[in-house]
Structure 1
Amino acid sequence: MSTQTDAEVAIQAAEAGAAVVRAKYGVPLARYDKSPTDFATEADLEAEQAILDVLRAARPDDAVIGEEYGADGQAARTWLVDPLCGTLNFAAETPLFSVNVALKGPGVAAVAQPLTGEVFWTDGTTAMVRRDGTDSPATPSATSLLIDVDVDDPPGSDFVGARILTDPTLLATFGLRVSSTTLTLAWVAVGRRAGYITNGALVDSVHFTAGIQLCQAAGCVVTDFSGEPVHTGPGLVVAADTATHDRLLEVVSRCSA
């Protein structure tokens, strides 16, 4: 077992995946259909393999759940891996995607943004952003007044996303963006977004766990749609501060009525 800390392992794994994704960006790639609206690319598969190589070398006794290759092993410690969160954006050469690595429980996570070289990470206590090898504290801020609303509709749900996007109070207060990846959660943690709203049951999600843990460590307000602790009920509302979170909860409540 490596002498690296869990946070160092997460960062190394995310950077390994990001290197693959960066090299594959803009290159014609084979696609592997999962559903009519979802697919993986060679970049997803190769990036996950690169991440797995790091995790298996550093933490051989841990279990891993990956977006592409599924579960590997059973252990008290489990890593959650999404090698390319935002595959649709990646395939369309829209530079809004991330590489996510999270350790369940301790709150350790790393979210790499391949095309900028940034890594947003947390050891479960503090949250940082690494640029050119230098770490700076992740500092949430609502001053941008930009929020992202994920309008995907999980099967069997009655998501309020469409109603939120046309809510007059929200439109008078915030600027809306839609990117639908953990990258947005990382941006809330460092002040590039004021908040984020998405629906669904997100417990142990390879898509969201890293971003949620990062935002919690950064001091963001993170709850379900009822304002209860995240995963208590459905939905996710993340905000840079309490005032912004209260406003977003009011909109969610009104649009859910």
Structure 2
Amino acid sequence: MSDYRHLLPVAIEAVARAAEAMQRRPPGALTVKGDRDIASALDYEIERDIRELLRVATPGIGFLGEEHGVSGPGEMQWVLDPIDGTANFVRGIPLCAVSLGLLHHGEAVLGIIELPFLGNRYAAAQGDGATADGKPIRVSRTNRLSEAIVAIGDYAVGADAPAKNQLRLALTARLAESVQRVRMTGTAALDLAWLAEGKLDAALTLSNHPWDMAAGVAIAREAGAEVVDWDRTRHSANSSMTLGVTPALIDDTLGLLRDTGRLPNPCRRSQRFEP
């Protein structure tokens, strides 16, 4: 197993710089990226700044950003969502994050998530455990769905949203019948960080964009979570879904998903990512 810990300081520096920009600067002009999807001027500015910082500091590692795409080598790749939860951010809702992960051959091996308006930083490197504000964290020990608090990712927008949302709505209905509470925070990074810290018992996103997931997947795994695709294969950048669950609940949670009866064709992963 490779040692990724030496990359934590530069990743922390990058995320801290982005978080400071979020705290000090307004969103700026909004760009419509598609049906009910937006980016702020600050999203683009932060991504350009962090891309350049990491290009200079780690020239052998490529970069994938949500707003400007891929640059540099591809075997190892920084993956950035400059503002995860832009819709929250532009409305002054504090549930938003900077999410910086590292992929190695498509697997999340390092992650830093900062919540600028909640004052928390989550970090992990493969084999080194996960921390929140420098203190070790572990997933919850919840072992009954009736006692679980479960976050579900945003409903789909854009092309084919009605069809995609059939599964999301069906799963929401099953969760509402089975778990203690269902939550939708609007930021996958925060969901996975809170799963790692034991505040949530599952974080279920029925899609997979690497910039949304890489950092949180690394952190949740190092805190003891199972993070898998819908068919229980190990999650990677090429997975269709991102299902993070505390171990005692994995069977029951995937059972609920199967019971919806609307699972994707395993030969047609809709969100494939080629590093």
What's the TM-score once normalised by structure 2's chain length? 0.81
Counterpart for residue 238 of structure 1: 244
Deviation at 1:252, TM superposition (A): 0.5
Q: Report the secondary structure of 1:104's partner residue.
A: strand
2:255 aligned residue (237, 250, 253) = 250
Letter aligned with residue 136 of structure 2: P
Counterpart for residue 138 of structure 1: 137
Asked if structure 2 preserves the Cα contact closer than 8 Å seen for 1:189 and 1:220, the reply is yes
1:192 aligned residue (199, 203, 207) = 199
Letter aligned with residue 183 of structure 2: R
Letter aligned with residue 103 of structure 1: L
1:1-257 equivalences under 5 Å are 5-24=6-25, 27=26, 29-105=28-104, 107-131=109-133, 135-143=134-142, 145-153=148-156, 155-156=159-160, 158-159=164-165, 160-167=167-174, 170-181=176-187, 182-202=189-209, 205-231=210-236, 234-241=240-247, 243-256=248-261
Count matched residues. Answer: 245
Asked if structure 2 preserves the Cα contact closer than 8 Å seen for 1:13 and 1:52, the reply is no
Deviation at 1:86, TM superposition (A): 0.6
Change (3 A) 1:117 1:56: farther
Asked if structure 2 preserves the Cα contact closer than 8 Å seen for 1:141 and 1:240, the reply is yes
Q: Report the secondary structure of 2:75's partner residue.
A: coil
Letter aligned with residue 256 of structure 1: G
Identity %: 23
Deviation at 1:233, TM superposition (A): 5.2
Deviation at 1:185, TM superposition (A): 0.5
Letter aligned with residue 251 of structure 2: D
Asked if structure 1 preserves the Cα contact closer than 8 Å seen for 2:138 and 2:198, the reply is yes
Q: Report the secondary structure of 1:78's partner residue.
A: strand
Asked if structure 1 preserves the Cα contact closer than 8 Å seen for 2:78 and 2:100, the reply is yes
Deviates most, 157-166 or 35-44: 157-166
Question: Please, what is the CA RMSD of the aligned residues?
Answer: 2.2
1:141-197: CA deviations, max 9, x gaps? 154721111242374564511012222x65343300002321110110111111011
Deviates most, 208-217 or 222-231: 222-231
For structure 1, the residue ranges without an aligned partner over 5 or more in a row are none
